Chain A
Amino acid sequence: MDLSLSTRTEGDRTVVVVGGEIDVYTAPKLREQLIDLVSNGNYHLVVDMEGVDFLDSTGLGVLVGGLKRVRAHEGSLRLVCAQERILKIFRITGLTKVFPIHSSVEEALAATD
C-alpha cells in the first residue's frame, strides 16, 4: 500500500496518522479521510506526518482543503513533521505560514488555538 492512514481520539482532538507517500495517486484517500472526519463533527485535527516519505503539491492541496474545512467550523488542523525534506516543500510554497507545524504529536496536542 502506498499510503497508510489511521485515526485515534486524544481528548477533543483527532490524530490522523499518515504513512508512506502522499502524491497525485494517494492524496484522494487522505482527502476522503479528512472530509469524513469533519462531516462526523471532528473539527480539531492533528495530522501526524512523521511516517510520510514523500509529499507533493497534490498532498499540500488536500491539507489546505482540510484546513479550510475545519476552520469553517471554528476548528483547527495542526501538522506534526520534523523531517527536513518534507518541511522543505512547505517552505518553498510559503505554507509554513499557513499551517501550525509541530515536531511531535505531544507538542501538537498541548498547543492551544
Chain B
Amino acid sequence: MAVVELSFTPLPGHVRTARLIATAIARRADVEPDIVDEIRLAVGEACSRAVRLHQSHGEARPIRLTLSVDQGRFEVVVIDAVPDDDSRGPVEDVDLSDLSVEDSDDGSMSARIGLAVIVGLVDSVEVIPHPAGGTEVHMSWPSGDVRRDTVLAAEA
C-alpha cells in the first residue's frame, strides 16, 4: 500500500498545497480524469473545513492528510485536531434553501455548502472521531487498478 502523508499549519494558503498533492497522487494511481477533478474539489473542501475549524477554535496544531492507494481504491483522510466539533457525525443531506447574506459573512454558509459538496461528490465518505481528539474525514474513490482488476476477472 502506497502512502503519502502531509501535515500543514491551519492556514487557508495551504489548502491549495493539499489539493495539488492529492491530484498528483491520484493521477499516478491512474484515476479517471473526471474523478481527479472531484478529488481536487473534495480534498479542498475537507481541508478548508479543517482550517475553518482550527481557526475558529484557536487551534494552531497542524492538519494532517494521508493519501493511499490500496486494492483499487484511492483513499484520502483529512484529520483535524479540534476537540469539540459540533459538525461531527453522519454526513447528511444539507439543505441550502435558507442561505442569507449574514451566513456568507461569517463563513457558516460556506461551511454548509462545503459539506453539501463533499456529500454530493464523493463516492464514499465517513466522518469519524479521531482517537487522539479531533475528526477524521475519510473519502475514497476507485483508482485505475479497479478497471484492470475487472478486466482480468472478466477474462478469467
Contacts and interface: CB of A to CB of B under 8 A. Distances in A.
Interface in B5-52: 12-13, 15-16, 19, 37, 40-41, 44-45, 48, 51-52
A93 B101 contact: no
A54 B101 contact: no
Given A61-B110, A64-B99, A69-B101, A54 B40 contact: yes
A57 B112 CA distance: 8
Given A57-B110, A58-B48, A65-B105, A85 B37 contact: yes
B12 A60 contact: no
B96 A95 contact: yes
A5 interface: no
Contact of A23 (B15, B107, B111, B116): B15
A82 interface: no
B113 A23 contact: no
Which bracket fits the contact residues of B? 20 to 34
B117 interface: yes
A23 B20 CA distance: 13
Interface in A60-106: 60-62, 64-65, 68-69, 72, 85, 88-89, 92-95
A56 to B, nearest CB: 5
Contact of B48 (A56, A69, A85): A56
B117 A56 contact: yes
A36 B22 CA distance: 35
A48 interface: no
A57 B117 contact: yes
A24 B12 contact: yes
Interface of A: 2, 21, 23-25, 54, 56-58, 60-62, 64-65, 68-69, 72, 85, 88-89, 92-95
12 contacts: A24-B48, A54-B40, A57-B110, A57-B111, A58-B110, A60-B113, A62-B104, A64-B104, A64-B109, A68-B101, A93-B113, A94-B96
- List 5 tightest A-B contacts by C-beta distance, closest first: A65-B104, A61-B110, A92-B120, A57-B114, A57-B113
